[in-house]
Amino acid sequence: MTAENLPPLDSAEILTARRELAACFRMAARLGMHEGICNHFSALVPGYTELFLVNPFGYAFSEITASSLLICDFEGNVVAGDGVPESTAFHIHAQLHKLKPHARVAFHTHMPYATAMALVEGEPLHYAGQTAARFFGRVAVDDDYNGLALDDSEGARIAGAIGEADIVFMRHHGVMVLADSIAKAWDDLYYLERACEVQVLAMSTGRRLLPIDPELARKTGEQIMSEAAEAAQLHLDSVQRLLDREEADYSS
């Protein structure tokens, strides 16, 4: 696609993406899946392969609106919007979108239960519950924590550690969820935190976790993911209906 026939940056598809992404920020804030003005969600701009939407630095998730989201290119330029992305947000997300074709959407959080499982020895996620089974075979662990991602090389290193995974536990840091749509990223982010919350509660009893047989966990995950696209969109639609009633400014 040439520059002459690229869609305008205010197309209906892009406005929809802005509203969906803003809804994810607002609901993540409601559910305690945020951390101050840190953490970042991004999505490739519909119709473009080298531009992405991302939240501006200095704003809490609960403040994000559709129009406040920035559009950036992979060189660090803000193409549309007021403000700049947080520096680690740019270096991580630009490289993910550039190097990982399946990462059309990337959600990075320090949400408490999933992050807790990135801080302990062993595999972070135990497939002992049905919700966890949806992630069977989809998880990578980035064991090489290097401090803040303040340059492209660290963003590229993180992208390399991910491989083809959708879910990434980043040791000593947080988690990353990758997807080909905003709805799927939200669905996975939500259920990842729920799976980790239940796991932490179960582990707190001091009793041994009872994992699902690996073959059954794989089958269950495939069953869940076979309907994931439709279910994810319905999930995000429900989030937007709730926000339309109670926080309608998210879509402005």
Query: For residue range 21-32, what is the model confidence (pLDDT) as tens digits?
Result: 999 999 999 999
CA angle 240, 85, 27 (to 5 degrees): 20
Q: How confident is the model at residue 11 (pLDDT cuts 50, 70, 90)?
A: very high
CA-nearest of 179, 26, 208 to 97 is: 179
Tell me what percent of the residues of the chain surpass a pLDDT of 70. 98
pLDDT per residue over 127-164, tens digit each? 999 999 999 999 999 998 877 877 788 888 888 888 89
Q: What is residue 1's predicted lDDT score, i.e. its pLDDT? A: 42
pTM, two decimal places: 0.94
Q: Kindly tell me if the per-residue pLDDT of 3 is higher than 70.
A: no
State residue 4's pLDDT score. Answer: 55
* DSSP string covering 34-61: -BTTB-EEEEEPTT-SSEEEEPPTT--G
pLDDT at 5 over 80: no
Query: Phi/psi zone of residue 144: left (φ > 0), alpha (ψ -120 to 50 degrees), beta?
Result: beta
Can you tell me the distance from the alpha carbon of 20 to that of 16, in angstroms, rounded to the nearest whole number? 6
3-state secondary structure of 177: strand
Over residues 230-242, the mean pLDDT reads 97
Inform me whether the pLDDT recorded for 165 exceeds 90: yes
